[in-house]
Amino acid sequence: MINEILNNIAELSQKVMADIKNSTDLNQINDVRVKILGKKGELTAILKQMGRLSAEERPVVGAKANELREAAEKAITERITRLKAQSFEAALINEAMDVTLPGRAHAPGHRHPISQTMADIISNFRRLGFSVQHGPDVEKDYYNFEALNFPPEHPARDMQDTFYIDSDDGNLVLRTHTSPIQIRTMEKTRPPVRIIAPGAVYRSDSDITHSPMFHQIEGLAVDRKITMADLKGLLTEFCRMTFGPNKPLRFRPSFFPFTEPSAEVDIRCVICNGDGCRVCKNTGWLEILGSGMVDPAVFGFVDYDPEEFTGFAFGMGIERIAMLRHGISDIRLFFENDIRFLSQF
């Protein structure tokens, strides 16, 4: 019986070495390993016959089986190393690279035109002595409306189509402007105050010049003896810094609940140069910001004495400024993420 088992081991040894030598890829060599040395492999099947051997015969068969296993493992490892080397050499030949060809340059990233416009505006107002303040996008009705002189039944609330947030007291909104930051700042700061408040705002509005989410920068200055002339001088200088010294602009009376008197600032339409087009609604002018002197009623919410302090406030849409700077007629282009459009900036 022992001679039969030893002969089977010898035959298996010759077979496994031949199979390893003839393997041409890693899948084949793995199949050989499993077929010969696996738990259900041929060597295991032979060793199951050892139960029929005597105690003296078993060590002899076990030694031969171990010799076969070690020899096969060594041969498999060497064959795998050789096959990997052959594969690498073939790849070098088949995937040869011409190192003399010029490289492919990566296109550099850059700021979105809205982000760049906002950064430029902030920089200009910093140069004019204003600091930057930020506030929450989800705002209390009190800060978004009431403290800005929008009583609950005030018809001016209809000027802004608001997104309301479900809450226990029904008192939260997506801010419709960044003016709430002005109230929050005045609550914790005594005059003089000179701030701008940039950020995203939300209104239920969408067309070629409006978006349901857009960006604003609002400004506030409060001190003793601030006048409408100071406001006009500041905004004139801002327009000169932003659009150049030769761009015509005009101030015209308007209405905002939190300023009195109020004014809007228009700039000559850059799309039609004043001839009239769909963007300027054939007027030749485009509104770029609203402004005015802070209504004394607003000071009452922040415990400022309107007999001692005066101030002005203004606000502008960043998208509108960007459209004017770059001659863009449709605000939706900024948010469609078309790389052909964005790469122009």
Per-residue pLDDT of the chain (345 residues; tens, 9 = 90+): 666 667 666 776 777 777 777 888 888 878 877 777 777 777 776 666 666 666 677 777 667 777 777 777 888 888 888 888 888 887 777 777 777 888 888 877 788 999 999 999 999 999 999 999 999 999 998 999 989 988 777 765 665 578 888 877 768 888 989 999 999 999 999 999 999 999 999 987 665 556 788 899 999 999 998 999 999 999 999 988 988 888 888 999 999 889 999 999 998 887 788 888 877 788 888 888 999 999 999 999 999 999 999 999 999 999 888 888 887 878 888 888 888 888 888
Long-range CB contact pairs, 199-207, < 8 A, 24+ = 199/134, 199/135, 199/137, 199/175, 200/137, 201/174, 201/175, 201/176, 201/177, 202/137, 202/163, 202/174, 202/175, 202/176, 203/160, 203/161, 203/162, 203/163, 203/176, 204/161, 204/162, 204/163, 205/161
What's the token pair of residue 241?
């810094």
* pLDDT reported for residue 170: 67
* pLDDT reported for residue 210: 62
